[in-house]
Amino acid sequence: MKVLRRNGETVEIGFEEKEGQKAFWHTSAHVLAQAVKRLYPETKCGVGPAIENGFYYDFAFSFSFAEEHLRAVEAQMKKIVRESLSLQVSRVSRQEAEDYMREQGEDYKLELIRELPETEAISFFKQGEYVEFCAGPHISNTSHIKAIKLLSVAGAYWKGQEGNKMLTRIYGISFPKASLLEEHLHMLEEARLRDHRKLGRELGLFMLAEEGPGFPFLLPRGVILKNLLLDYWRRLHSREGYLEISTPVMLNRKLWEISGHWEHYREAMYTSVIDDVEYAIKPMSCPGGMLVYQQEPHSYRELPLRMAELGLVHRNEKSGQLHGLMRVRAFTQDDAHIFMTQEQVVGEIQRVAELIDEVYQRFGFSYHVELSTQPENSIGSAEEWELATRALRNAMDALELPYSVNEGDGAFYGPKLDFHLKDSIGRTWQCGTIQLDFQLPRRFGAEYIGADGKTHRPVMIHRVLFGSIERFIGILIEHYAGKFPVWLSPVQVKLLPVSDKYLPYARGVLEKLSDRGIRAELDTRDEKLGYKIREARMDRVPYMIIVGEKEQESGTVSVRLRDAEAGRQERGEMAPEALAEEILALSGAHS
């Protein structure tokens, strides 16, 4: 597939590569705009970028555009594709670009052009009668697009700012093969069925309320699930020699100025005033971790010093970006900060990478790693950035762990390795990260006494495994479709008495299981057994045990499984003690 860049260069890039996908979906967005302009010439165009899975375009229609209009637009897009239009790129002056968009009546495009640097030449891409100014890249011909599907319509404020006009955003997806579209649509249907917002409500895990947009409420079963994850996290960190700390949720402005967050992250922070002093609620825990490190002197013999924190953080996310547990304003971050000598850097990075690998394998995730390099808005010297980036590369190379490079997307204080896990239906999620930081130790004046008796500055790693605990729960809900493995299930056993007559025996079984640490619930409702079984299945409980006259007389329980075992869901009768041993063995093997 030939890809056309804005400088006129044409290169051969496969669709499976990131730039190839960006070019493919960016061109598809242009095809969408061309189709809309053909059908509704009075429409004004906003922006139309490629996104992670597909593309969208924002339009200002002169009428109320709705889902029922998508079919006509999609048909017109397919017609454009069949016309096999080649794309040409040209570079024009700012004045020429403004004149063209003014003539076309494209007010939004004109506004974007006026915001560009005056000295910058502007690239225009043309396909047939449609001309669009953008940076590219694009595929060389629309005929490469073999399958298109428009997915949905949504509202979107111009430039994402709530005070601006609401535009109509059309989302779509396209592929070079029809089979890829079929696979994607199947994945979307699976994702719909697994939606953690729906399952979270049905399974009693969490709730969202209008009184706190972006501030999720964990329900009793959700708290059990969270605590199971945190217990697992604590066992790992104790084994790996981490010291757990806890730092305040709110600290004063001076601290955030020293760390650089006030300058580089201020818009995402909530603030308050106490005794005429400005404070910020922490969006991350690292400055507090620095204060803990500095509260006493350190020797090289203590390094590496690994400090971990389950910190409640708050970030001012825009309301339009909130999404269940995946994008929230308050969450628990499983942060850790490692202070070390320069000689220890590569080894510590490797150790963290191996820990992340262990965690993701435990939950059945595969993953890929992305190295993000120095952004434009950064602090520190070029030499420090080069040193930090090379250390990350060396650690990955020594582990023989492949990675891609994401230029310019590092944290403002240092480069990072991001771990993108893949769930059971093929979607990727960025969770774990390793960030190498020379800047915060310098800005805070952190020191240790070396073997030479002199003071030295430590290097710092920021890292998370789960990322946001709440977001990780959302990912797990969708990954397992609510059918958590036995060790992670908030309710492992549901006891279903045939009638009230057998409740005393059922309570005795419940007590035996609970005494062994099994998470069991007793259904005491006056309902038919078949109804209770269906309800337990809807709750995705791994084990359903039935107690009636036969079981009471023999001192056993009849076991049914959530998931069929060798084609059978009924396991038959078991002693409660044997069932407990089986569940504990499964939990011990996987927790």
The model's pLDDT over 475-524, given as tens digits with 9 standing for 90+, comes to: 999 999 999 999 999 999 999 999 999 999 999 999 999 999 999 999 99
Closest C-alpha to 560, from 575, 549, 550, 571: 571
What's residue 250's pLDDT? 96
pLDDT computed for residue 17 by the predictor:
87
Average pLDDT, the chain: 92
Is 86 strand, coil or helix? strand
Percent of the chain with pLDDT over 70: 98
Q: How many CB atoms lie within 10 A of CB 56?
A: 23
Average pLDDT value for residue range 300-325: 93
Name 244's bridge partners: 308
Q: For this structure, is 431 an active site residue?
A: no
Average pLDDT, integer, range 68-89: 95
With a cut of 70, say whether residue 568 has pLDDT above it.
no
Answer for the pair 2, 140: CB distance below 8 angstroms, yes or no: yes
pTM for this model (two decimals)? 0.84
pLDDT in tens, 104-134: 999 999 999 998 877 678 899 999 999 998 8
Cis before 304 (ω within 30):
yes
What percent of the chain lies above the pLDDT cut of 90? 77
User: In this predicted model, what pLDDT tens digit does every residue of 514-556 receive, in sequence order?
Assistant: 999 999 999 999 899 999 999 999 999 999 999 999 999 999 9
Of the listed 58, 334, 335, 423, which one is catalytic?
335
Asked if 134 is an active-site residue, the reply is no
484 closest CA partner among 539, 422, 565: 539
3-class DSSP state of 590: helix
DSSP string, 207-232: E--TTSTT--EE-HHHHHHHHHHHHH
Of 176, 476, 122, 440, which Cα lies nearest the Cα of 324?
476
Q: Which residue among the candidates 22, 37, 282, 337 is catalytic per the annotation?
A: 337
In sequence order, the β-bridge partners of residue 543 are 493, 561
pLDDT band at 566 (very low <50, low <70, confident <90, very high): very low
What pLDDT score does 135 carry? 85
pLDDT tier for residue 12 given thresholds of 50, 70 and 90: confident
Identify the active-site residue in 44, 109, 329, 416. 416
**Nearest CA to 583 among 504, 494, 481?**
494
Inter-residue contact 306 to 347 (CB < 8 Å): no
Of the candidates 21, 34, 127, 333, the residue annotated as catalytic is: 333
| 16-35 pLDDT per residue, tens | 888 899 999 999 999 999 99
* Gap between the Cα atoms of 586 and 1, Å rounded: 49
Half-sphere CA count of 459, side-chain side, radius 13 A: 21
- Identity of residue 195: D
Burial 388-398 (b: 16+ CB within 10 A, else e): bbebbbebbee
Residue 564: is its pLDDT beyond 70?
A: no
Contact 150, 57 (CB under 8 A): no
Q: Name the phi and psi angles at 67, rounded to 5.
A: -55, -35
Q: Which of 553, 539, 571 is nearest to 501 (CA)?
A: 553
Q: Is 333 a catalytic residue?
A: yes
The residue whose two tokens read 């997307």 is 409
Q: Which of 6, 462, 532, 540 is catalytic?
A: 462
Q: How confident is the model at residue 233 (pLDDT cuts 50, 70, 90)?
A: very high
Neighbouring C-beta atoms of residue 193, cutoff 10 Å: 13
Task: Report the amino acid identity of residue 443.
Answer: R
* Active site annotation includes 337: yes
Question: Residues 224, 487: contact at Cβ < 8 Å?
Answer: no
Q: Is residue 379's pLDDT more than 90? A: no
Structure tokens at 507: 């309570």
Is 335 noted as a catalytic residue in this protein? yes
Which one of the listed residues 286, 334, 435, 439 is annotated catalytic? 286
| Phi then psi dihedrals of residue 109, to 5 deg | -65, -40
